[in-house]
Structure formats: structure tokens, C-alpha cells
Amino acid sequence: MKNIVVLGGGISGYGSAILARKKGFGVFLSDAGKIADRFRAKLDEWQVPYEEGGHTEERILAATEVVKSPGIPDSAPIVRKIREAGIPLISEMEFAGRYMGRAKCICITGSNGKTTTTSIIYKILRDAGYNVALGGNIGESFAYSVATGNYDWYVLELSSFQLDGMYKFRAHIGVLMNITPDHLDRYDHCFQKYIDAKMRITQNMTSRDWFIYSGDDEVIREQLPKYDLRMRQLPFMAHSAVASGAGDAFLCDGKFTAAVGRHAVEIDTAKLQIKGLHNAYNAMAASLAALAAGVAPTKIRRSLYDFAPVEHRLEPVLEKDGVLWINDSKATNVDSVFYALESMTRPVVWIAGGTDKGNDYEPLKKFAREKVHTLVCMGLDNAKLVREFTGVIPEIISTDSLDAALTACKRAARPGDVVLLSPACASFDLFHNYEQRGELFKKWVREHA
């Protein structure tokens, strides 16, 4: 009998373990930390054996195959030992993809915009009456949905870490939003390794599949000629002109037309609830994916106009005494902050900082100089931020806690200002994740602003 070991007891791990159990495999889940109560309850319900607070190497190294959660780096000692033992190591996506049956999947990746784009696509398909599940980086565990449901479509947000562990998995509709430097600490500080991970979205795709990508993204344009891409290509653009007989989407004068084959939808971005150029890109990509999936243009238009902003991504929290507080905690890299600052129309008090991932802050300096009057650094080591923006932003304040940072913001903000939490960094120095950082920000603002 096949013996599956699952590393990590979070949303990816518990779903993989339950799917392995459902398929009749021997299964064991191991987590170096503490497993959340809700996941432990599910494992107990499905009678999955597990351990927490450490790894039993002998049991793990007896596996036929190991399913690794995306948050566990390849540098972890247990991962190295698994590789040295020659045991196949895969992601939840690779594992669950084997058991999808005749269902199809829309897979979305990119350095920025993937959560919003994934959420829009899921809403469009669900509103159109499709039997669809949401998974990957958001929603339910993909593996758990495969184990317990019977869906026709899966809409999956994929990180580079998930793509790294995918080998035979195939996206029927693949969406690549952009590629900018991110997570370089996980890729030996080599941008090309990170690029290669993102380009894995195209692997195994056939001439029956669709590949949607940003025609404005210089990195993607440079990479495409290196690959033998046989699928139908659908670029979306606001600046470039890329010829494609299969279809495309182009933004001009605040409107875009997305066309796939003989079907097209026109969208007025002024009617969208999500604002800014980055959200126009997200809407174009989502429209192309929905058209490729067969959704009627009228239904796409209705769902797009109805779509509300995603939590922790340029999320307005409160306006008090003329100061608007915005939660953009999900902006964990420079490119996300670039779009956030670009979309600001009021003077900015900007909160940044956390665990630096090898960031190059140069692209932010133009907008910082034009729009930001105060930078509040929130992290245990703010030296790089202070150094980079000295002489660019008039006032820089260094703090080492959320309360100190937001108190400083409250003092610095003037009527008509925006206080923007858009950190450009991971959250792990002071918070468990970006969600917790965003939730604590919102709680403080509502209680103290």
C-alpha cells in the first residue's frame, strides 16, 4: 500500500491528508509546530494519525511519497533528508490534481494581483451557475475539495512555492498576472530562479488550453520565446500591442474589450468598485478567463460591476476627522506598494516595514517623493527603509510595534490625508501573517483613530 506522509498541518496539509485517507493510502501528518484546533478536529474525524511539535524522522523517511505544505522551505532539515533519501516530494496541487476526474481548473499566479483576480473569476463562474470550488492560496484546501466534493471547475490561486512542487499537473486555463522580484530569500536571492518558478504555470498545457498573461510585463515578454508554448494565448494590455489570433484584452480611455474567439465583453472601469490600473489588469485577466471558460459576456459584466474589494488589499477601514485609514497589509512586496502608492489621490502617511525579502525600493521613490509626507517604519529592523528613504520623504519615524506605529501615524496625519498600511515586507517579525497584521491594524483604527 502506498504510504503518504504530509508535512505541515495547515490548510494545505490537512486537506492532503484527508484526500490520502479517502483514497485508501497509508497516511501520516507531521507538523513541527502546533496544529490549529479546527484542522486537528478534521484529522480526528477522518482518523488520520498525526504529530505536532516535532518530526519523527524514521516514520517520515519510510514514506513512499511526501506532500509538502508551501510554507515549509526547501532548506528545512527534514526536507533535505527527504530529498537525500530519494523520496518524491510534491505539493498539494500535484497530489490533488491526480484525482480531479473530468473537472477543469483555472490557475492564477503572479507576483501581484492574483488574489483579487482569483476572487473575481470565482465570483463570475459561481454567479453564472457553474459548479465551482475556490482553492490554493485562498478558499478551501484544493485537496479537501477534491476529497469531499464533486466539482466541475476549480479556481486556484497558486504561489511560486506551490508551482515548485508541481510536475504533471496541468492548468486548463493558466493566468500569469506579472513577474516582479519577490520571495528572493527562498530562491537564493536569484531573480531568474523565481521567474522559472512562475513560468511553471505553463507546463503540460496543450493546444486545447488557454494561457492568459500580461502583454505589458517586460519580464514575461522576455521569457515567452524560451518556451515551446502550444496553447492558445490571450494577452491583456494597457500599453503594449501583442498580436494574438485567439483573442486579447486592451484598455483604452478607461474602457477595455476582452475577446476570446467570437465572444467579447466591454467593461467601463469607472463602473468597477475596484479602482486603479492594477485592478483594470485584474479585471481584464478575469474577463478573459471567464470567456475561455464559456461564461456569457452579459454575466461577466454583471459580476464584475458587482465585485467588491478583497480584504487586506487597499481596503478602506475608516475615515475620521478627515483622515482615511487604508489596510493594504497584503502588499508584501515592492510591486504591490507601487500600485498602492500610484492609486493614492490624497497626501499619504505610509506605514512600511517587516521582514525584508531582498527588496529594491528604487521603483517606489518617485511616488514616495510626490505623495508621501511621512513614512512610519514598523519592524524590528528598520535600518534599510530609513536609509533608502532619507532625503526622499520629509519625515521618517522608526517604531517597533503596531501601537507605536499607529500612534505616530495619528499624530502625523492631517485632515485630507490617507494613512496607508502597505508594508512592502513579510509580516513575520511582529505578526503570524499578513492577515493578522491587517486585522490588528483595523482593530486599532476602529478603537483609537
Q: Is 79 left (phi over 0), alpha (psi -120 to 50) or beta?
A: alpha
Residue 95 domain-assigned (yes or no): no
Q: Please tell me the predicted confidence (pLDDT) of residue 310.
A: 75
The pLDDT tens digits of the residues spanning 39-51 come to 999 999 999 999 9
Parent domain of 73: 3-90
Distances in Å between the Cα of 184 and the Cα atoms of 160, 178, 420 are: 11, 16, 25
Please say which residue of 282, 306, 330 terminates a domain: 306
Residue 136 and residue 278 in one domain: yes
Buried-state track 289-308, b at ≥16 Cβ within 10 A, e below 16: bbbbbebebebbbebbeebe
Residue 353 burial (10 A CB sphere; 0-12, 13-18, 19+):
buried
The residues, ordered by sequence, that sit 6+ positions from 276 with a Cβ below 8 Å of its Cβ are 314, 339, 342, 343
> Averaged over 281-287, what is the pLDDT?
97
Examine the domain organization and report whether 223 and 130 are in the same domain.
yes
Whether the pLDDT of residue 235 is over 90: the answer is yes
Q: How many Cα atoms sit within 13 Å of 317 on the Cβ side?
A: 24
Q: Is the pLDDT reported for residue 418 higher than 80?
A: yes
At 427 the pLDDT is 79
DSSP state string for 167-225: SS---SEEEE----S--GGGTTT-HHHHHHHHHGGGTT--TTSEEEEETT-HHHHHHGG
Judge if 43 and 146 occupy the same domain: no
pTM summary value? 0.77
CATH code for the domain in which residue 11 is found: 3.40.50.720
**With 0-12 CB in 10 A as exposed, 13-18 as middle and 19+ as buried, what is 54?**
exposed
Q: Is the pLDDT of residue 187 over 80?
A: no
The answer on 194 and 298 residing in a single domain is yes
Stated length of the chain? 449
pLDDT bracket for residue 275 (50, 70, 90): confident
Domain final position from 279, 306, 333: 306
- pLDDT tens sequence across 33-77: 999 888 999 999 999 999 999 999 999 999 999 999 988 888 899
Judge whether residue 400 has pLDDT over 80. yes
**Whether residue 387 is found in the same domain as residue 417:** yes
Q: Calculate mean pLDDT across residues 306-330.
A: 88
Instruction: Say yes or no: 373 and 324 in one domain.
Output: yes
Residue 228 pLDDT: 87
Q: How many domains, the chain?
A: 3
Residue 411 lies in a domain: yes
Residue 339: per-residue pLDDT: 80
**Is the sign of the CA dihedral 408, 381, 278, 210 positive or negative?**
negative
Mean predicted confidence (pLDDT) in 87-108 = 96
Of 290, 221, 228, 232, the closest CA to residue 258 belongs to 290
Task: Give the pLDDT confidence score for residue 77 in this predicted structure.
Answer: 95
Q: Are residues 109 and 55 in the same domain?
A: no
| Residue ending a domain, choose from 306, 328, 347 | 306
Is residue 174 in some structural domain? yes
**pLDDT at position 184 over 80:** no
Highest mean predicted confidence (pLDDT) among 188-192, 344-348, 399-403: 399-403
Q: What is the mean pLDDT of the chain?
A: 93
What's 218's domain CATH number?
A: 3.40.1190.10
Question: In Å, how far from its chain's centre is CA 325?
Answer: 23
More confident residue, 356 or 209: 209
How many angstroms separate the CA atoms of 136 and 192, rounded?
Answer: 24
Q: Which of 3-17, 118-132, 176-190, 278-292 has the lowest mean pLDDT?
A: 176-190
Beta-strand ranges (E) seen in 253-368 are 255-260, 263-268, 315-320, 323-327, 348-352
CATH number for the domain including 390? 3.90.190.20
Same domain for 295 and 419, yes or no, is no
